[in-house]
Structure 1
Amino acid sequence: MFTIYIYLPDTLADWELGHITAELQSRRFFKKDAPHLELKTVGYCREPVRTMGGLTALPDCAVGDIATGEKSMLLLPGANTWSDPRHGAIVEKAGEFLAAGAAVGAICGATAALAGAGLLDDRPHTSNGPGFLEAAVPGYRGQRFYVDAPSVANGGLFTASCTGALLWARQIIAHLGVFEADTLAAWYAYFCTGAPEHFFALMQSVAAAQTTLL
């Protein structure tokens, strides 16, 4: 079983997690032999948090409950509160994940938290545009590894800007191997463009997979 830990900071940016959590939880487009995933929300404590959109979320566990290993992934959404020192424990845990060969996804303000811990000093990454990390993190030293793109996948590290959530989701889904390649291509094309031909291609790819099961 593969465990996806989703960190819930106060004021988390709701839209940045929407695509990835909905697809991983619903399994609606998963291929027939997709690995079993368990999603667990994590807080710096077990108290409820309020998202940027005003929703209340109750973490399933605290940072100390996270099991680090190659069959786990940590997702860090953006928020207005990443400068809060209470998030230091999850940033430290992200470093443990990367050191252990486990995957970490960070988007928007979460990339600044990783940069502040030196975790982006020697890994290709992106954030909210050139100059953002320099402004947000005075000690940032990863400039030569910065890639000006909506989302960057490098081994087990997935970083994205606040507008890169869809591509970020695609890269993470590809890493997990839970969609067939044609399903993932059609899924991404449809949500990028809204063109009906991509929707029909998506449905056909899923139907074909189901037919194979019969």
Structure 2
Amino acid sequence: MKKVAIILTQGFADWEYGLIAGAGGPFYGLNIRFFAPAAGEVRSMGGLSAIVAHGVEAVPEWAPGVIVVVGGTIWETEDAPVLDDLLLAHHSKGGIVAGICGGTLALARAGLLDDVRHTSNDADYLHRHAPGYTGSALFRPEPVAVTDNRVITAPGTAPVGFAAAIFESAGLDHDAAEAFRRMLAAEHAGADGK
């Protein structure tokens, strides 16, 4: 199983990393570590205060197989961290990069979505917030995670599928990843009252 680096920023989305960290380590044996643009305190959209011990400059030395960029409010602002070099270097060495919701903007800004099938909150969202993005022909308006050439993307409404795609890319057996996805989708199977 590969190591998974999760990057949190100020205003990170509480629901987008929880399943990866909460199930990935304890239930599936992933080695998960959190990073931030700078080590120290980050506060989530919901007000959770977290102390992140490692800045993103420490990611290459830890050598994860997967780098996950969690979405949040900062990605649509001028204060968004620039992760281009980190993400491009990781991907060029055969690593997997993943972004959900606003985290897809970091991938788009790095040029990682220009040549792969991908998704996000919507196509216009990428154009508005990622100058230079040229991958619109490969955009898929999917409500689930999309994986192509070691790049995983998802809209903010798909944390379950995003987590499952990360688990599988990190080495979890396909059937186990599908079982995880089905288990968490079970409550919706009876949503019509039957």
TM-score (norm 2): 0.86
Sequence identity, in percent? 28
For 1:69 and 1:103, locate their aligned partners in 2 and report how far apart those are by CA, in whole Å: 14
Structure 1 residues without counterparts, runs of 5 or longer: 31-35, 197-214
Alignment partner of 1:76 out of 69, 75, 94: 69
2:124 equivalent to 1:131: yes
Question: 5+ unaligned residues in a row in structure 2: which ranges?
Answer: 190-194
Question: What is the rounded CA distance, in whole Å, between the counterparts of 2:140 and 2:7 in structure 1?
Answer: 25
**1:160 correspondence with 2:154:** yes
User: What are the Cα deviations for residues 71-118 of structure 1, in whole angstroms up to 9, with x where unaligned?
Assistant: 521110101112345611x33211111111101110001111221232
Partner of 1:21 in structure 2?
A: 21
What's the secondary structure of 1:141's corresponding residue?
coil
Q: How many residues align?
A: 188
State yes or no: 1:109 paired with 2:102: yes
Does 1:11 pair with 2:4?
A: no
Q: Which amino acid aligns with 2:45?
A: M
How big is each residue's C-alpha offset from its partner over 1:126-169, in whole Å with a ceiling of 9 and x where there is no partner? Answer: 11023221222243211111111121011311000011111111
- Residues 43-68 of structure 1: per-residue CA shift (max 9 Å, x gap): 11112000111011111211111126
Q: Do the aligned residues in 1 keep the contact of 2:115 with 2:135 (CA within 8 Å)? A: yes
Q: C-alpha distance in 2, partners of 1:64/1:7?
A: 11
**Residue 13 of structure 1 contacts residue 53 of structure 1 at CA under 8 Å; is this kept in 2?**
yes
Check 1:86–1:108 CA distance in 2 against 1; reply closer, same or farther (3 A cut). Answer: closer
Corresponding residue for residue 122 of structure 1: 115
CA distance in 2 between partners of 1:13 and 1:162 (Å): 9
CA distance in 1, matches of 2:33, 2:64: 13
Does residue 94 (structure 1) correspond to residue 68 (structure 2)? The answer is: no
TM-align CA RMSD: 2.3
Are 2:65 and 2:170, in contact at CA under 8 Å, matched by a contact in 1?
A: no
Alignment CA distance shift 1:193-1:71 (3 Å): same
Paired AA for residue 155 in structure 2: S
TM-score when normalising by structure 1: 0.79
User: SS of 1:122's equivalent?
Assistant: coil
Structure number with bigger Rg: 1
Matched AA of 1:39: I
Alignment check: 8 A CA contact 1:69 1:101 kept: no
